[in-house]
C-alpha cells in the first residue's frame, strides 16, 4: 500500500509538472529551460548526497553501471527531454502529455526485446487501455 500511495503522489507531481514546463517555455527556449533545470537539480542532488553522507555510494558506482546511467541520461534526460520540451512549446500541453503517456507501450516492447520480459495478458490489456485513452484524448482535442 505504501508503494502505491507513493506512486500516486508521483503521478500527481508528474501531472502538474508539464504545466510549469509549458509556462517556463513561454519566454525561454527548450535548451535554456533544460539547462537551468538540470543545473538546479544537480546542485540540489549534490547537497542531498552530501547532507545524507552518501557521497561514497555515488563514487563507488562501477563502470558498467555508470555506462547505463550515462546512456539513460543522454537518451531520456537530454534527447528525450529536449524533444518533449520542443513539442510542448509547439502544441497544447494536454495533447503532448497524452501522446508521451504512451511510453509504457514502448517500454514493454523494449523490455521484451532487450530484457526478455514476456508481457502477460493483463499487461498487454493495460497497455492497450493506455494507448486507446491517449488516442481518445488526442481525438477530443482535434474536435475543438
Q: What is the pLDDT along the chain (144 residues), one digit of tens a residue?
A: 798 898 889 888 988 999 999 999 999 999 999 999 999 999 999 999 999 999 899 999 999 999 999 999 999 989 999 999 999 999 989 888 888 888 888 888 899 999 999 888 998 898 888 888 877 877 765 555
How many Å apart are CA 137 and CA 93, to the nearest integer? Answer: 12
Assess whether 80 and 110 both reside in one domain. no
Assess whether 105 and 125 both reside in one domain. yes
Contact by Cβ (8 Å): 101, 127: no
Assess whether 70 and 109 both reside in one domain. no
CA dist 67 to 41, 70, 74, 82, Å? 21, 5, 10, 21
Assess whether 78 and 97 both reside in one domain. no
The boundaries of the domain holding residue 20 are 1-90
Assess whether 13 and 81 both reside in one domain. yes
Assess whether 85 and 100 both reside in one domain. no
As for how many domains the chain has, the answer is 2
Assess whether 31 and 72 both reside in one domain. yes
- Which of 44, 66, 90 delimits the end of a domain? 90
* CA-based nearest residue to 99, from 37, 142, 56, 66: 142
How many Å apart are CA 72 and CA 70, to the nearest integer? Answer: 5
Amino acid at each position: 500500500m505504501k508503494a502505491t500511495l507513493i506512486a500516486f503522489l508521483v503521478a500527481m507531481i508528474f501531472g502538474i509538472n508539464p504545466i510549469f514546463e509549458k509556462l517556463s517555455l513561454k519566454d525561454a527556449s527548450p535548451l535554456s529551460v533544460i539547462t537551468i533545470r538540470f543545473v538546479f537539480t544537480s546542485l540540489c542532488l549534490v547537497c542531498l548526497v552530501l547532507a545524507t553522507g552518501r557521497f561514497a555510494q555515488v563514487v563507488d558506482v562501477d563502470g558498467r553501471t555508470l555506462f547505463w546511467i550515462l546512456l539513460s541520461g543522454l537518451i531520456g534526460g537530454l534527447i528525450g527531454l529536449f524533444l518533449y520540451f520542443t513539442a510542448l512549446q509547439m502544441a497544447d500541453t494536454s495533447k503532448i502529455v497524452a501522446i508521451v503517456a504512451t511510453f509504457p507501450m514502448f517500454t514493454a516492447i523494449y523490455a521484451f526485446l532487450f530484457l526478455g520480459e514476456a508481457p502477460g495478458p493483463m499487461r498487454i490489456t493495460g497497455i492497450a487501455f493506455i494507448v486507446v485513452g491517449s488516442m481518445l484524448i488526442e481525438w477530443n482535442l482535434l474536435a475543438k
